[in-house]
Structure 1
Amino acid sequence: MTTDLHQGGCLCGQVRFEVQGPLENPHTCSCEFCQRHSGALTVTWVEVPRERLRWTGPAGAPATYRSSDYSSRAFCAHCGSSLGAIDDEPTIALLVGSLDHKDSPALMPTYESFEDGRPAWWHAGTRHD
């Protein structure tokens, strides 16, 4: 993956972050938790060790909602933007959409979790009428 500084944040800019070093394990997920957290049918994630992420915006760390027995969903308490998931293990998963720069080929997902959670009409291709 890439090894430089990665920055991102919420829609209003109150919650910002920096990650030094590689963004790891790029993947998509279509589970019900991700769908409800984001409002999207599929989301794209990257993971980072907690010690490499620093919250830099005026609001500090994001608000969280305990979504399972091992993880909390992170969001901005001011604008409501979904930012990621903070696991009990030393891992933070960030939504790729919250990154300032999303063009790196290193962000291309390498696998999909819970693809059976997508509706039958959802497909990766473009619709042609």
Structure 2
Amino acid sequence: MKSLVYSGGCLCGQVRFQALGPAHNPHYCSCKLCQRHTGALSAAWVEFPRERVTWSGVPATFRSSDYSSRAFCPRCGSSLGAIDDEPTVALLLGCFDDNDPEVLKPTGHSYSGARPSWCQGDT
């Protein structure tokens, strides 16, 4: 089975990534950290082992919890993902050049109850 290469990056193009598939755990998250990191009520993520993600340009990071740092472009501020202390990089699906493949479709939703009450029935 051939591994897929997923590419993407920030709004200005200074920071790009390539992630060698398969992709793992595509999901939505609505925790307060994800809301503040993205400015959205829910974030769509997909995970890759750290050694399968390469960067062109260096993302800035902010230590957001005791186990993870949020990655973003130091020039345009685009949110890119989370780099966990465990060997996992979670990339935001909105940053992908092509986020249409079915294997990237979120299959779960973490912290869905953290969204405002008027948004509880939405994905």
TM-score range with shorter-chain normalisation? over 0.9
Shift of 1:61: 2.2
Is 1:9 aligned to residue 22 of structure 2? no
Q: Distance in 2 between matches of 1:21 and 1:28?
A: 19
State TM-score, norm by structure 2.
0.94
Q: Which runs of 5+ in 2 are unaligned?
A: none
Query: Aligned-residue CA RMSD in angstroms?
Result: 1.3
Equivalent position of 2:29 in the other structure: 29
Is 1:73 aligned to residue 70 of structure 2? yes
Equivalent position of 2:92 in the other structure: 95
Tell me which amino acid in the other structure corresponds to 2:80: L
Q: Distance in 1 between matches of 2:5 and 2:105?
A: 18
Shift of 1:107: 1.0
Equivalent position of 1:43 in the other structure: 43
Q: Which runs of 4+ in 1 moved over 2 A?
A: none
DSSP 3-state at the match of 2:66:
coil
**Of 110, 113, 116, the match for 2:113:** 116
Which structure has the bigger radius of gyration?
Answer: 1
State TM-score, norm by structure 1.
0.90
Equivalent position of 2:53 in the other structure: 53
Q: Distance in 2 between matches of 1:61 and 1:23?
A: 22
Taking only the aligned residue pairs, the percentage that are identical comes to 61
